Amino acid sequence: MDHRPLGRTGLSVSAIGLGCMGMSEFYGASDDTQSLATLEAALDAGITFFDTADMYGVGHNERLLGQFLKGKREKVVLATKFGNVRGPNGERLGINGSPAYVREACEASLKRLGIETIDLYYQHRVDPKTPIEDTVGAMARLVEEGKVRHLGLSECSVATLKRAHGVHPITAVQTEYSLWTRDAEAEMLGVCADLGISFVAYSPLGRAFLTGAITSTDTLAENDFRRHNPRFQGEAFAQNKRLTDALAAFAAARKVTSAQIALAWILNKQPHVIPIPGTRRIKYLQENAAAVAIRLSPAEVAELDALFPPQAVAGTRYPEPVMANLNI
């Protein structure tokens, strides 16, 4: 497994991490025994960077990671997030970045995870009601107290990132990035590179769409949120499938999978980006990890760029109410 620096912290992490969200929610039913086996397989494959959040499964995901971490805490760089507030029954209660809530959320995450210090603590979504200076100031106090090592932001704007970085060094920005979500190429990737901030790419496989495995939303579980994602609907689905068919042909010519090419595209194009594909299954985890060894020439990267021009992707990446919480 290759490694990449985590910001300017001196830490390095596996070039591919593991997004753990789907082990608790959003993609249909999950099984803790299967998930724990996959987490163990990730460590065996050399993956050291694990990503969770307090809202995934309303705390379930952090408790699952806490179970996994017993006896192996020193082998893992753990990232979690706060800010998307949910009630005990999963109801959405908005975004909270107030200093009091920053501390409350951190204490709760530490308890669920069963650890003393979080390696990387993100604000999951920017709270427009709270100045970012106040939120990051509260996060910085957690660093001073030893509860958190490094700070991150997720789905923020460049302007917010620069303001936050002026309060306390930001180690990582986490935002969706993949062949079919390339918004960050306009500005954010360059700013992160200039500031020495790692860019953590979530959903690098387009919520499995880029793998070619999803041929119809009818195959998805009733509670799978992709059923309501604009890119998976009607004509948008058909248009986007034409793109993934082209990706499949490219991958077949290389005798690898579409998923491996989608990850290799990121890894070969962006040296400061760390993709964190999520999976619940050992087979796909091992497939994803093997993508680190794939080398693409500049011409091949350019060919993939041309296969996925941003204007050719149909549909927004979230429903409109959720899109309103991005890039603040």
User: Cα dist. 30→22, 143, 193 in Å?
Assistant: 8, 34, 36
Domain ranges of the chain: 3-208+266-294
Task: Give the single-character DSSP code of 217.
Answer: G
Alpha helices in the chain (DSSP H): 32-44, 60-69, 99-113, 132-144, 158-167, 188-195, 234-254, 258-269, 282-290, 298-307, 320-323
Which pLDDT value is given to residue 142? 98
Per-residue model confidence (pLDDT) at position 117? 98
pLDDT at 69: 96
Q: Which 3 state secondary structure label does DSSP give 176? A: strand
This prediction's pTM: 0.94
- Per-residue tokens: 194: 């200039």
Rg (CA), the chain: 19
* Spatial separation of the C-alpha atoms in residues 189 and 144, rounded to whole Å: 28
pLDDT at 28: 81
Q: Name the pairing type of β-strands 92-95 and 148-154.
A: unpaired
Enzyme catalytic residues: 56
Question: Which residue, among 24, 55, 59, 57, has the nearest Cα to 39 in the 3D structure?
Answer: 24
pLDDT in tens, the chain (328 residues): 999 999 999 999 999 999 999 999 888 888 999 999 999 999 999 999 999 999 999 999 999 999 999 999 999 999 999 999 999 888 999 999 999 999 999 999 999 999 999 999 999 999 999 999 999 999 999 999 999 999 999 999 999 999 999 999 999 999 999 999 999 999 999 999 999 999 999 999 999 999 999 988 888 888 888 998 999 999 999 999 999 999 999 999 999 999 999 999 999 999 999 999 999 999 999 999 999 999 999 999 999 999 999 999 999 999 888 899 998 9
Q: Are 57 and 89 a contacting pair, CB within 8 Å?
A: no
Give the count of beta carbons closer than 10 Å to the beta carbon of residue 327. Answer: 15
What CATH class does 3-208+266-294 carry? Answer: alpha beta
